[in-house]
Structure 1
Amino acid sequence: MPGEPDVWPKADVIAVAPATFNTMNAWALGITRDFIVGVVAEGIGKGIPLVTMPCVNAAYAQHRQFERSVTELRDMGVHVLYGESGFVPNQPGQGRPKEYPWHAVLDAVEDAVAK
């Protein structure tokens, strides 16, 4: 409720992983229909360190808005683990969930907390 204290403690860092095509684009565009997108969009303004790693197939990655969203989030200070430094898209239908590089997300979170 407005005027009431926040019920959550301030986060040291927020990690969003795996981030879908929709989540990445909505976040970059400021479309906060989903709770999590609202939390991380507000996190930018609150100065909370943010780490994200998408999980999209190569067909989604070809959509021009996706690359714009990655760039926009990086420009807003979000640590986006995409490409050689994180997630590399698979061809559609060839997902390998056991190979999702969780270690990259956890390392980035530890680095953000240590700063």
Structure 2
Amino acid sequence: MNAEVVEAARSFGSTKLQMLLKVQMPQALPTIMAGINQTMMMAMSMVVTCSMIGARGLGNEVLIAVNRVEISRGFMAGGSVVILAILLDRLTQGWFSNRKESGDE
């Protein structure tokens, strides 16, 4: 948090709500977005792990392929998980960069 910006907002008479919404949140947004991105990537990595305890979904396909030594099925299912993770990553980065450029911070 840039203390000079906070002090400038305080000296201009900003209320606590204005300080939060107009000064502190925009400064914290890159860190918040990095946390959201990392959480989504961790969730994608847990897809296969969760299938080991009975969860259904795309991770289950990877687990079946590994158990049956079906290499092509494993590549397809694993590749799908990776592509989905990349798409989610790019979508969140694109959303954040669009907000940053338009000044919606």
- After TM superposition, the score normalised by the length of structure 1 is 0.28
RCO comparison, higher one (Cα < 8 Å, 6+) = 1
Query: Which structure would you say has the larger Rg?
Result: 2
Q: TM-score, normalised by structure 2?
A: 0.30
Structure with greater strand share of residues: 1
